[in-house]
Every structure is written in C-alpha cells, then in structure tokens.
Structure 1
C-alpha cells in the first residue's frame, strides 16, 4: 500500500508546545494500540477540542511533557499528530523507548472501531515503515498486553488482527 495517510498536524489542531522531546534511538520496534476511553468524537472540530483537552490533562494532571500518544485517530479515520514520528511517548509505562503509541478516540469497551479508523491506522503503519520510522517487522500490541488495564477496550482489542501486517 503506497497510499500516504493525511495527518492533521499539531499546529492544525492547536496543540500546546511540548515541554521536552526525547527522540527514539532508531525505528520503533513495537506499536501499542490504545483507546482514549472518552466519548467518540463526532467530527474534526469535536476531535480537535478533545485533543486539546487530552493534552491539557496529560501535561497538567499527569505531568507529561506532552500528549502521551504519538498519533490519535478519530472515528471518521482522520489521523492526528500527537508526539509524532521518532519521538518517545508516554503511553505505556516501561515500554515507551522502542515503541509507537496510537490511540483510537473513543471507548471501545462498548463501541466497535470504524472501518475508516482501522484503514487509516493501517496506512499510517505502512507509511511509518516506508519512511523508516517503524521497523518492517514491528510487533503490534494492545495496551493490556503490557499492563494491567482494559485498554484498548474489548472491541478494539478484538479488531487488532486487522492491523497486523499481512506480509
């Protein structure tokens, strides 16, 4: 798949400036899938408002340097830049220095991830491999595989095989 996914940049969604930024030492070896466990955002404006709120909470309440995830995806398939490529995230305690964290926006204990969101994340992963940010043999996990959590929700966790590489 040579199709490059369009990503809404941090400037476009109105992100605050990160306090610090640590670079990964090479291509990410693992991809860790999360959900925000919030309401599904209805449109781009709703999603961007939610992103600002998530970043504020991560920086103020959790004392992160930035929003914890590298990327987030709305139900319409729009991908939003969080920390972006090649940056150490704050999404999975003890597992951030060799991974990429992608959060589906919504609560997938109850909701099924949309075909659009699944397709966009597949394209994002392909793009990351093509651009050298993601190891071609990356391993994909749900957050619950690496921590004591329900994340990314039962219905998204069940959909993870759709994101795994077919080659």
Structure 2
C-alpha cells in the first residue's frame, strides 16, 4: 500500500510491468553503443517467429530465442530491439532506453525499437498487447527517454520489409504520433 501511494505521489500510476534482462535470463551484450535521449522516433516491429506468447514463461523463452537469433545467427552485439511486448501483457527489456539498437537502418541511433511478439500479417495483436505498447511509449516519454513530439513508424518505413505485419501496420497508422517517412 505504501509503495502504491509513493508511486502516485511521483506521478507514475502505470500498471506497466517491465521484465528486466536479468529476469528473462539475457546474456550480456558483446558491445554497447550509448544512445542520446530523448529519441525522436519509436519504431514498431513484429517477430514473426517466435509466435505470440501468452505466459511469462513462454515470453521469456521467446526473448531468449530472439537473442539467440540476433547474437548467434546474425552476429549482432545483442538482441536488436529496445523492448518487446508479449501477449501476456508484459514489456520485456531488450537493449533498453539508452543503448543503440539494431532494428531499423537509419533509425537505430535515434529511436526506441519495440517488437510486438507474434506474426501480425493476418491478425491484430490483442488489446492487452497493444495497451502495453501504448503504456511503454508513454512511460518512455515521462522518463524523458522518448521526445514528447516523437514520430511513430513501422519498420517497413525504414527498410524493405513486411514488418510489422500488414494488420499491425494498419493499426499503428491510426495512432496519434504516426508519421509517414
């Protein structure tokens, strides 16, 4: 009860749960390039594989699988995304707020990359998943990590790809900060 009152007093009333790298068992990055905050962009992605996860245990497995693909298969320094959002309604810390990502050419040093875990070509993420994305962005703005006047783009706007899936892309075009680049 006391913790809740303290959070209200400082203006953070989120129900947002960010699962830390330690909690999901992330390996350390092989290199970290610092990123200046606040960033002017948020880039939305989908994972395709792994598919949407619905429990914390399955989402932890999804994060570990993505980190393996990015670090081992692609030879990147870490998982490419800043954060990922699971179907369980949790946000999962990838590179975090202040480390340059590897998710969108031309935008990596000036954006937060959020992967919505699942394949969104023919389906839209659940309201729970979408709400978590909104809360994560709002929290980033409150922390001063994302500019209050940020532009929101889909990964397909940065490079030739179908990401973040046709139906998720259609969804984000209705969001207030969406911009065409």
Q: Distance in 2 between matches of 1:12 and 1:100?
A: 21
The normalised TM-score by structure 1 is: 0.94
Q: Deviations over 1:68-112 (max 9, x none)?
A: 000000113211000011110000122201111000000000221
Task: Tell me the secondary structure at the aligned position of residue 31 of structure 2.
Answer: coil
1:3 matched to which residue of 2? 13
Task: Name the CA distance, whole Å, in 1 between partners of 2:60 and 2:174.
Answer: 26
Q: Is the CA contact (8 Å cut-off) linking 2:44 and 2:115 kept in structure 1? A: yes
For 1:30, what is the secondary structure of its paired residue?
Answer: strand
Larger Rg: 2
Aligned in 2, Cα 1:3/1:161: closer, same or farther, shift over 3 Å?
farther
Q: 1:72 to 1:98 in 2, by over 3 A?
A: same
Root-mean-square deviation (CA, aligned residues, Å) is: 1.6
Q: Whole-Å Cα distance in 1 between the matches of residues 40 and 141 of structure 2?
A: 10
Which structure has more RCO (C-alpha within 8 Å, separation ≥ 6)? 1
Once residues 22 and 176 of structure 2 are traced to their aligned partners in structure 1, the CA distance between those partners, rounded to angstroms, is 30
Structure-2 separation of matches of 1:128 and 1:156: 21
User: Is this contact kept in 1: 2:151–2:177, CA < 8 A?
Assistant: no
Segments of 4+ moved more than 2 angstroms:
1-4, 161-166
Q: What is residue 152 of structure 1 aligned with on the other side? A: 164
- Structure 2 unaligned spans of 5+: 1-10
| 1:88 corresponding residue in structure 2 | 100
Gapped regions of structure 1 (runs ≥ 5): none
Pick closer, same or farther for the CA change 1:114–1:16 going to 2, 3 Å.
same
Residue of structure 1 aligned with 2:127, choices 100, 105, 115: 115
Match in the other structure for 2:149:
137
Aligned residues: 166
